[in-house]
Structures are given as C-alpha cells and as structure tokens.
Structure 1
Amino acid sequence: MTTRRDFLRTTAVGAAAGAGALAAPAVHGQSKIVWRLQTYAGPALAQHVIKPSIDMFNKIANGEMEIQLYYADQLVPTGELFRAMQRGLVDAVQSDDDSIAAPTDVSVFGGYFPFATRYSLDVPVLFEQYGLKEIWEEAYDEVEGVKWLSAGAWDPCHFATKKPIRSLKDLEGLRVFTFPTAGRFLSRFGVVPVTLPWEDVEVAVQTGELDGIAWSGITEDYTVGWADVTDYFLTNNISGAWIGSYFANEERWNELPEHLKALFRVCMDSSHYYRQHWYWGGEAKLRVHGKKMQLTTIPDEEWAKVEAEAHKFWDEIAQTSPRAARVVQIFKEYNEVMAKAGRPYRYD
C-alpha cells in the first residue's frame, strides 16, 4: 500500500506538502477510471469492513475501473476527509458523518447517536423503511461537491478499559478515545473524550495517555489489537450499532457510466451484508470464548439513568434544526414500535 509520503511525492505536491496540500484527483484515463477511496478503518479492520467489497468491485469491473483503497489517516486525516473529498483530493470515503466533520445537520446522528439503535438490523430498517435515507439525501443535496450514497450498520459501542467499570462512578475522569457525538454525551458522566489518530490509540493505552476506548464492540477490540492492551470489557453499551456511510465526490460520481454506478451500489450492499453477520456473530462468540478481557456490567437500574439522559440529549439535538427534529422523531417512533412489538424485537 502506498504510504502518505510516497503519495505526496508521486503526485508532485512538492514543498506544498508541508502546508497539508494534496495533488489533483486521480487521473481518469480513456482505458480505465481510477478512484482513491479512504476508509475510517485501519488496515486490520478494513480487511472486514470494506476490502472484500472493493476487491469484488475491481474484479467485476474487469479493467474498466479500479478503486484504490487507503486506510485510516493514510492520505488525509479522518477529520479532514469531507473537505478533501469535496475538493476532489480523494474520490470516495467510507466513514460516519460525525468523524469526517460533514457540514450537515444530520452529521450528529452518524457514528454512535446514544441509544438510537439496539441492534445492527435497526439501521437498514430506519434508512429503508422509516425515511432516514430520504432525509440524508436531502441534507447532502444542499452540500456542494459531495454525493451521499448509502448507510449501513457496524458494531455496538462498548468500553474497553484498563480498570474495571462496575458503576457510573467508575466512568468519572476516564480518558477515552471515542467519536465526537458519543464523547459529547459521555462527558455528562465524567468521561474525558480524547481525540487521536486511529493508529496511535493502542500505544496511547499502553503509555497511560488513554484509560480506555469507547469506539467499538468486542469484535473490533480483538481484530485491531485493543484487546491486547486493555483488561476489561463493559457489557453495557450506549448504542447497538454504529451508523456509517459511503460518500463520493459528486463530479466523479456523475462521470461514471450507469452500469458502474450500479456495480458500486451492489458492492456497498455486499459490504453492509458482510458486516451484519461478521459483527453479530463475533460479538457473541468473543464474549463467551474470548480470553483476553474480563467482562464487567453496570446494574440495569443504574444504567437506566444513562438511557434517560440520552433521551434528554435527543431533545436537545432536536432543537438544533427542523431536520434534526424530524430524525429524532423517527427514532422515537421506531423505538416505540419495537418496544410494543416485543420479542424478538425488544426484550424490555
């Protein structure tokens, strides 16, 4: 995989690299279209959350198009990805809206919006049956240069820590790597959100700069190595599934012939499907058979305070814009339906 230094050198950024500049977008030759896609995920995680679908795309495209996959922060820091894609410095992105600082009023719902979902299957249902897809399309149609393409579910959000968490009091002062909105919410319980490049997290836990991570479920903890540097896994979570999306530079997307657009959409769906079973099976299997972390739990009656606070947080977010209010209302209606439906949709 091309390193960031090699990328800057071969694309002739020259001295401007020191100012963070990048080269012109990938050349679209007559014989083959070439895209650069950067994911939020590091190399080990990307092997599951996106690489199989990109490999499939490149194979089926049969020389008409190639997508070159880059990992977290490899070309552009994750927090700058949206602007880089908007300017055509990268052609496509896989991430949550929140982490890439997408300038829309729905970005706060990307990633882990507290208690919006219980299970990973909630995400596609919310987008395909409850109207979130149309709301996201509407929001990104107002932003120049970027095309929102699709959303899917990832894993739940749990704490992986150096010390055990068995009560809300144990969260106080905990320095944790997490997502922007999740961190904003967890700070209400004394958590100190810390922002770092993804690749630096493991070392930061080892050196004591971080006390833990609230960025994933147990499947990712084992896959990326975080289970090797943390000792405890909290079974309570603030969200049942991360909401992530695919985006593309609008001009690059519009240039594609319809059959390649269709192929890209099919491969996105393949990626969404893979993650559904990979995470769902992994979360259960590693809780039961994993040997690297001890499971801890905050009692239900105490954790109910966190869920109650989340609903206050929802109402605060709903006041930020009419569209945000529509999203919050959909979350409320959806969760009410799930609760009334009972088993297997909801158990309490």
Structure 2
Amino acid sequence: MKNNPKLTKRRDFLKKAGLVTAGAVGASTLSAPYGYAATNPIKWRLQTYSGAPLGAHVVAPQIEAFNKAAHGEMEIELYFADQLVPTDELFRAMQAGTIDAVQSDDATMGSPVDISVFGGYFPFATRFSLDVPAMFKYYGLDEIWAEAYGEVKNVTWLSTSAWDPCHLFTVKKPIRSLADMKGLRVFGVPTAGRFMAQYGLIPVIVPWDDVEVAMQTGELDGVCWCGFTEAYEVGWADICSYALTNSVTGAWFGSYFSNTKSWEKLSPKLQELFKMSIDQSHYYRQVWYWGGEADLRVNGEKMELTSLPADE
C-alpha cells in the first residue's frame, strides 16, 4: 500500500511542530506535543505507608505502569515508609505540599478527620476483601469519605479499597484464649491496636523497618498488622512461631490521597490515568493477598495455627 503524500506531509509537520519552543507557541490553544512534554514532565513524590518488601506488591507495579503509560508527560517518584517523612506525619506533609500523594490508611498517616477511626483495620464485620469496595459502592462509604476530606484544606481523597485481613502473630506465646493476650507487646495499625487493647494487649508503634529486629530482641512479642501473605513475604513468619486464625477484621481499608493543588495541576487525561492505575493496584492486591491467604493457611509450615474457643 502506497503512502498518501498529504498524510505523510501532515505527520512530518506534527513531528516538527513538537520541536517548537515554548515561547513560539505562546497563547496557542493546541496541546503541548509529546516531544515537548517529555522534556518538561510533571514530577510527583508519592510516599506509601509500607516498607520496600511489601511495597514491591502493594504499590510499585502501579507506579511503574503509570510512569510508562504517561509517556513522559508525568513521572511519579515512589518512596517507602519513613523515607521522606515519618509515616504518622504523612497527612501534614501532603497537605503542606512536601509530598504530592500518599497511599495509606487514615489513622496510620495521622489524618485529623473524624472517620480516621475507621481507617486501616477497624473491626467491621468484614470477612473478605470484596466487602470493602462493596461497602463503598453500595452502602455510602464513598460519600462519607468524600465529605470528611472535603472539610480539610488542600487534601483530596481519591479512592479506597481492600488490602489483607488482620491476624495476630506471636513470637513465643501461643494464643488459645483471650486471656493469653494480656500483657503482650504487639506492633499494629493504630485502629486495630486500640481494639485489641480491651483484651489486655499492649499496642506498640515502632518504624516499620524496625519490627523484625524488635521481635528478635524481645522488644515486641508479636505483630497484629497483616495477614498470612504479608507475614510470609516480609519475613515476619520466620520469627513468629504462632498464628491466630481468628482475624481482627477481614480486610484493611487503604486509600489514595493527593495534595489538592498538585491534583488540580494535572490534565483531565492524567487524572483519569492515575485513577485507572489505582484500580489496577486494587485488583493486583485482591489476587496477590487472597491467593496467598488461601495457600498459606493450608500449606504454610513456618507457624503453628491456634484458634480461640468458640464461646470467645
């Protein structure tokens, strides 16, 4: 098939137009071509609550895919727990513009909104990860979250979905009754820690990267932060001897947020692309977490399983 000379000339013109300087285009209504955008990409800094081993699954694939799909118009730099700012200061840092976006639950990032008590591992009667997006889509939690963050300045809530269930993993002491929890020093998400404190468990907050050493030295007696998949992935199952099969809750509520000014600087196309990448991340976690839960609860050999009596 022969090339159409007119079409060829137009393609050549568009290629050359991409080399024109910003001053030359002035007030032109034409969108900046890719050749120009690639030399002036929008730069974002996103920090996640998670450490690097976990972040390799819960956020890194998304950011890599987004940066590739953005074709040089935008680049997101990914930072893991505490790399730029302490995790419990993520909200304030994002609000101030120190970072552009955050992946976290509400409580862990130090959000001042009233619904932060529900963020992370709040003991909703959830059993499966799909319970979380279903509650946001059909039972009005999306409107509640949007209203709450609409009351604070310069922070935009973008999306919430599910991570893994929350189980208690202990180093030396098996949990076979609620009384066995008394006095145990356990690292966990703030909401789960407050809930478990009523059974005598002592919530302890340390930097995520220090948890493994803290359990090895005896500073911590266990973790109540994640499910089986994550415990095996990050190495905590190598230190803990026991896993309680009764979950605190069936799924973690995790969200994406952005500095409002940073968000509004994005074109509608880039905003939609970022939202699509968030949905991709939500799907990735559904498969990765729950495939692991199904396998490791049956075939995992690193921890002995214990359960509470039925009447407890």
Give the TM-score of the pair, scaled to structure 1: 0.78
The residue identity in structure 2 corresponding to 1:113 is: F
Which has the greater radius of gyration? 2
* Selected match of 1:257 from 257, 261, 267: 267
SS in 1 for 2:215: helix
Q: Tell me how far 1:115 sits from its aligned partner.
A: 3.3
Give the aligned partner of residue 142 of structure 1.
151
In 2, Cα distance between the equivalents of 1:115 and 1:259? 36
Give the aligned partner of residue 23 of structure 1.
none
SS in 1 for 2:311: helix
Give the aligned partner of residue 90 of structure 1.
99
Per-residue CA shift, 1:42-98, capped at 9, x if unaligned? Answer: 111011101111111000001000000000111111000000000000100000001
Q: Percent identity?
A: 63
Alignment of 1:1-348 (within 5 A): 31-162=40-171, 163-302=173-312
Q: Tell me how far 1:134 sits from its aligned partner.
A: 1.0
SS in 2 for 1:203: helix
SS in 1 for 2:114: coil
Q: Tell me how far 1:30 sits from its aligned partner.
A: 7.0
Per-residue CA shift, 1:208-231, capped at 9, x if unaligned? Answer: 000000000010001111011111
Give the aligned partner of residue 8 of structure 2.
none
CA RMSD between the two structures:
1.2
In 2, Cα distance between the equivalents of 1:185 and 1:130? 24
Unaligned runs of 5+ in 1: 1-27, 303-348
In 1, Cα distance between the equivalents of 2:125 and 2:159? 18
8 Å CA contact 2:194, 2:203 repeated in 1: yes
Per-residue CA shift, 1:224-267, capped at 9, x if unaligned? Answer: 11011111111001100000000000000000000000000000
Q: Tell me how far 1:300 sits from its aligned partner.
A: 2.0
In 2, Cα distance between the equivalents of 1:185 and 1:286? 26
Q: Tell me how far 1:122 sits from its aligned partner.
A: 0.4
Would the alpha carbon gap of residues 217 and 152 (structure 1) be closer, same or farther in structure 2, given more than 3 Å must change? same
Unaligned runs of 5+ in 2: 1-36
SS in 2 for 1:73: coil
Which structure shows the bigger proportion of residues in helix conformation?
Answer: 1
Q: Tell me how far 1:176 sits from its aligned partner.
A: 0.4
In 1, Cα distance between the equivalents of 2:194 and 2:305? 25
SS in 2 for 1:147: strand
In 1, Cα distance between the equivalents of 2:60 and 2:242? 29
In 2, Cα distance between the equivalents of 1:29 and 1:79? 35
SS in 1 for 2:286: helix
Give the aligned partner of residue 330 of structure 1.
none
Matched positions, count:
275
Deviating 4+ runs (over 6 angstroms): none
Per-residue CA shift, 1:132-178, capped at 9, x if unaligned? Answer: 11111111011001000000100001011012111111100010001
In 2, Cα distance between the equivalents of 1:116 and 1:67? 36
Give the TM-score of the pair, scaled to structure 2: 0.87
In 2, Cα distance between the equivalents of 1:218 and 1:184? 21
